[in-house]
Chain A
Amino acid sequence: MKYLLLIYTDENAWTDSEREHCYAESTELTHDLHARGQYLGASPLQPVATATSVRVRDGKRLVTDGPFAETHEQLGGYFLIEAADLNEAISIAGRIPGARKGTVEVRPVMELPGLPPGA
């Protein structure tokens, strides 16, 4: 099964060196997952200050500054992985450095037939 691991943390709670360390540790994790054939993708996101929200209502496109919802913790990055089951996905989520500061949400990915190949 595929799982999307969404990393939510308070983006102001990180010092520069903590952030650098987190990227290094996460990169190491991606290589480990890749070696096991479980890596499909991963990336940190730019801070929510860079977010833009788009809605279409009555055929009209509305573009606004900011994230979908103002929350204490923000979506800061993700892993897309292949795992045998939820237990395996949970154990990988527990190795993501963001889990020690914030929360990793584990979401099973729905397999939609007819999509082009790729992650």
Chain B
Amino acid sequence: MVELDTERTQQVLADVYQRESRRVFATLIRLLGDFDLAEEALHDAFASAAEQWPRDGVPANPRAWLVSAGRFKAIDAIRRRARFDASMHEIARRLEDVADTGSSSDDEIADDRLRLIFTCCHPALASATQVALTLREVCGLKTEEIAAAFLTTPSTTAQRIVRGKAKIRDAGIPYQVPSLADSAERLDSVLAVIYLVFNEGYSASSGDALTRPDLSQEAIRLGRLLSELLPDSEALGLLALMLLQESRRSARSSPEGDIVLLEDQDRSLWNRDYIAQGKAAVERALSNERIGPYTIQAAIAAAHAAADSAGATDWTRIAALYDLLAGVEPTPVVALNRAVAIAMRDGPAAGLALIDDILQRGELGDYHLAHAARADMCRRLGRTADARASYERALALARQEPERRFLLKRLRETS
């Protein structure tokens, strides 16, 4: 025990809450087998700490202390309820068995956080539920914060979380890190949730603001956590991709909230610290045998970050990386981005031919960026009428206010 004055103890308690509460929660779910019981136990454990630590001092291992306090509080609560409900007796007895099995090691606790992530991102849950549960249970965001981030009401979000937890319980979704046989598929679903959270923060799908930085920070925190807990190249690739994209945040919109294209960005505003971390992560990811789509996209972002000016961009390398990406992820959006890279390497005529191919296949007809890219190629080729028609089509499809302003500006400039 470390003896401290009351004020200092309060500070320690706040720090411990910030650092440990989600870990303690993840372990309590494993021990208690129930999200709601664990949540209650977590609150009770911190309430006990607030009462006892100022009096008795801060325990040497606060995390273990909190897990143990939470566990005993839960057993007490269940025993009290058992006086009214006989079915609780058996549960209380089972929990006491658990209580006797000694404390959890640090490794086990790390596994618990991974268990929690994989459980919240289980493919048997709807995507919106996976996102809401991850932000609530893994990151500890409040329901109101999640609702605001995704432009829905707190009651809708709360209901989604309640239903998600009910499905975990009633359908028997286990609190487990998936077996090796299922791990690739299950990890994909975790990475998709993290990237979705990041993108919602980086490029809000609708509304006035271009970005919601808090969500991106949360996603990066999750990405760091996952790549620390799990040695996987794509987890590392995703972290690198997020860091490199995030490094450009303050350069990609003007003080008025208008979009600034990559080629026009003031590169001195790029966050060098994030670029360095992102580059280190992508190099580690590329040294693995399995190179997946996140890693390739991160390598593309790293190639942009390496150029001191837009003119110094290595488009040969970037176009080659897009060829690689189109091989592992043959989607129309990747084909579109590849076309733009090839236009930079070989000229706008080559890019336009590829974009027209994509549109003629009936793909991306409703995607505003496909028409915006086509308009850009036409503009650079001096085909003004075609450029205007495509900007107008893009404008009709764009939903985000800053994007609409950008397209209007381009339309005015093209005449």
Task: Name A residues whose Cβ lies closer than 8 Å to a Cβ of B.
Answer: 1, 3, 83-87, 89-91, 106, 108
Query: Could you tell me the distance between the alpha carbons of A1 and B171 in the complex, rounded to whole angstroms?
Result: 9
Q: Is the CB of B170 within 8 A of A85?
A: no
Most-contacted residue by chain A among B122, B171, B173, B178 (CB, 10 A): B171
Residues in B whose Cβ lies below 8 Å from that of A89: 172
Q: Is the CB of A108 within 8 A of B124?
A: no
Q: Is the CB of A85 within 8 A of B124?
A: no
Closest partner residue, chain A, to B182 (CB atom):
A87
Say how far A68's CB is from chain B's closest CB, in angstroms: 23
Query: Could you tell me the distance between the alpha carbons of A111 and B171 in the complex, rounded to whole angstroms?
Result: 12
Residues in B whose Cβ lies below 8 Å from that of A90: 124
Asked if B174 CB lies within 8 Å of chain A CBs, one says yes
Interface pairs (28), CB distance under 8 Å: A1-B172, A3-B172, A83-B172, A84-B172, A84-B174, A85-B172, A85-B173, A85-B174, A85-B176, A86-B122, A86-B124, A86-B171, A86-B172, A86-B173, A86-B174, A87-B173, A87-B174, A87-B176, A87-B178, A87-B182, A89-B172, A90-B124, A91-B182, A106-B124, A106-B171, A108-B170, A108-B171, A108-B172
Query: Could you tell me the distance between the alpha carbons of A84 and B170 in the complex, rounded to whole angstroms?
Result: 13
Number of B interface residues in the complex (CB < 8 A): 10
Closest partner residue, chain B, to A85 (CB atom):
B174
Residues in A whose Cβ lies below 8 Å from that of B122: 86
Most-contacted residue by chain A among B171, B172, B173, B182 (CB, 10 A): B172
Query: Could you tell me the distance between the alpha carbons of A3 and B170 in the complex, rounded to whole angstroms?
Result: 11
Closest partner residue, chain A, to B178 (CB atom):
A87
Say how far A4's CB is from chain B's closest CB, in angstroms: 12
Residues in A whose Cβ lies below 8 Å from that of B176: 85, 87
Q: Is the interface of B mostly helix, strand, loop or mixed?
A: loop
Residues in B whose Cβ lies below 8 Å from that of A86: 122, 124, 171-174
Residues in B whose Cβ lies below 8 Å from that of A3: 172
Residues in A whose Cβ lies below 8 Å from that of B171: 86, 106, 108
Instruction: Digitize B346-358: 1 where CB-to-A-CB distance is under 8 Å, 0 elsewhere.
Output: 0000000000000
Say how far A26's CB is from chain B's closest CB, in angstroms: 22
Say how far B179's CB is from chain A's closest CB, in angstroms: 8
Say how far A3's CB is from chain B's closest CB, in angstroms: 8
Closest 10 CB pairs of A and B: A85-B174, A85-B172, A86-B172, A1-B172, A86-B173, A108-B171, A86-B171, A87-B174, A108-B172, A108-B170
Query: Could you tell me the distance between the alpha carbons of A1 and B170 in the complex, rounded to whole angstroms?
Result: 10
Query: Could you tell me the distance between the alpha carbons of A85 and B178 in the complex, rounded to whole angstroms?
Result: 12
Most-contacted residue by chain B among A1, A83, A91, A108 (CB, 10 A): A108
Most-contacted residue by chain B among A1, A84, A86, A108 (CB, 10 A): A86
Residues in B whose Cβ lies below 8 Å from that of A91: 182
Residues in A whose Cβ lies below 8 Å from that of B173: 85-87
Query: Could you tell me the distance between the alpha carbons of A3 and B171 in the complex, rounded to whole angstroms?
Result: 9
Say how far A49's CB is from chain B's closest CB, in angstroms: 33
Residues in B whose Cβ lies below 8 Å from that of A87: 173-174, 176, 178, 182
8 Å CB interface, B292-335 against A: none
Residues in B whose Cβ lies below 8 Å from that of A1: 172
Instruction: Digitize B150-194: 1 where CB-to-A-CB distance is under 8 Å, 0 elsewhere.
Output: 000000000000000000001111101010001000000000000
Residues in A whose Cβ lies below 8 Å from that of B182: 87, 91
Say how far A107's CB is from chain B's closest CB, in angstroms: 8
Say how far B243's CB is from chain A's closest CB, in angstroms: 32
Say how far B175's CB is from chain A's closest CB, in angstroms: 9
Most-contacted residue by chain B among A1, A83, A85, A89 (CB, 10 A): A85
Residues in A whose Cβ lies below 8 Å from that of B174: 84-87
Instruction: Digitize B122-135: 1 where CB-to-A-CB distance is under 8 Å, 0 elsewhere.
Output: 10100000000000
Query: Could you tell me the distance between the alpha carbons of A91 and B182 in the complex, rounded to whole angstroms?
Result: 9
